[in-house]
Amino acid sequence: MRIAEPASRQPVAAPLLEVRNLVVRYGKKGAAAVDDVSFTIARGETLGLVGESGSGKTTIGRAILGLQPVTSGEIWFDGKNITRASVAERRSLQGDLRAVFQDPYSSLNPRRPIGEALAEPLRVAGVPRAERSLRADEALAAVGLPLGSGARYPRQFSGGQRQRIAIARALVTDPRLVVCDEAVSALDLSTQAQVLNLLAELRTGADLGYLFIAHDMAVVEFLAQRVVVLNRGRIVEQGTTAEVLQNPQNHYTRVLMAASPVPDPDEQARRREAWQALKATAPAA
């Protein structure tokens, strides 16, 4: 009979993404937009990265995607150091590491049908032409768009539908991690709920992780298992979603929670008052 290894000796799965002591500066002597930030994302996990505009959260997402040079620190993806990956190395990661941005219309070519937009990353990955079309149609169906949508142009869809198209394009390559940068912040509340439900459904049963970048705590609460709170480029609090939202330890976290919009006008008014009081008593930076 085989005796099980003690828990301390059992192998621990490496995180899908690991950010180690990340620093990003704009200019050689500029102030740090991101300062000594470290976190991990497990396989199949959603991590919420939360902060106000200018907190550095988008810069972190861009650094992970290779769109922003890193001053110091390391970014590891699936066991490989990708901090300063070459163009060829980044191209090989395109299928596994994808993104959904805030404004899907600006990332879609208005002169090309959306089916072609979805097929493009598959072409880069070397997928045969016939299979590209089939997988593009399957991705559009997965996000709830009707048959034949691939032949239509971006202008023929609503804002919520275009965000669904952006999600379909991100998922068409069967990625391991998707960076969602304010992916629902430009949508009305009902459309937000639809897109968030869609993201949650697409994650279910798949080995898919999300880095979900947002400023709204309520949105992050719905989707994320863990939360990292950023203020002026530094982490001020992190933990499970329940820990951070039910018992916030940092004043800035409480400010963000009070700023989250709710549909009830009376509750919104109470939150506004709480937000103003918290902002007035914020400690000096």
Strand partners, 231: 234
Structure-token pair, residue 279: 């902002």
Amino acid identity, position 56: G
84 with 184, same domain: the answer is yes
82 with 199, same domain: the answer is yes
Question: Is there a domain that residue 65 lies in?
Answer: yes
114 with 212, same domain: the answer is no
56 with 166, same domain: the answer is no
- Number of separate domains in the chain: 2
25 with 164, same domain: the answer is no
Comparing 17 with 277, which gets the higher pLDDT? 17
Question: Is there a domain that residue 1 lies in?
Answer: no
20 with 64, same domain: the answer is yes
The pTM score is 0.84
86 with 111, same domain: the answer is no
What's the rounded mean pLDDT across residues 75-98?
A: 92
Question: Is there a domain that residue 145 lies in?
Answer: yes
Question: Is there a domain that residue 252 lies in?
Answer: no
Question: Is there a domain that residue 61 lies in?
Answer: yes
183 with 164, same domain: the answer is no
User: What are the DSSP E strand ranges found in the chain?
Assistant: 17-25, 32-41, 46-50, 72-77, 80-81, 97-100, 177-181, 209-214, 226-231, 234-240
| Angle at 183 (CA atoms; ends 164, 143), nearest 5 degrees | 20
| Domain termination residue (choose one: 150, 173, 196) | 173
Strand partners, 39: 19
| Cα→Cα distances 129→36, 64, 97, 120, Å | 44, 30, 22, 10
Ordered DSSP codes for 149-209: GGGS-GGGS-HHHHHHHHHHHHHTT--SEEEEESTTTTS-HHHHHHHHHHHHHHHTTS--E
26 with 60, same domain: the answer is yes
198-241 residue pLDDT tens: 888 888 766 889 999 998 888 888 899 999 999 999 999 999 99
Q: Is the pLDDT of residue 124 over 80?
A: yes
Question: Is there a domain that residue 248 lies in?
Answer: no
Q: What is the rounded distance in angstroms from the CA atom of residue 162 to the CA atom of residue 108?
A: 9
Q: What is the rounded distance in angstroms from the CA atom of residue 64 to the CA atom of residue 28?
A: 20
Predicted pLDDT of residue 30: 77
Please, are residues 22 and 63 in contact by the beta-carbon 8 Å criterion? yes
Q: What is the rounded distance in angstroms from the CA atom of residue 66 to the CA atom of residue 11?
A: 30
61-71 residue pLDDT tens: 999 999 999 99
Predicted pLDDT of residue 1: 36
What range does the domain containing 123 cover?
107-173
Going across the sheet that includes 177-181, the strands are 97-100, 177-181, 209-214, 46-50, 226-231, 234-240
85 with 117, same domain: the answer is no
Question: Is there a domain that residue 131 lies in?
Answer: yes
Predicted pLDDT of residue 266: 58
Q: What is the rounded distance in angstroms from the CA atom of residue 175 to the CA atom of residue 126?
A: 15
**272 pLDDT band (50/70/90 cuts)?**
low
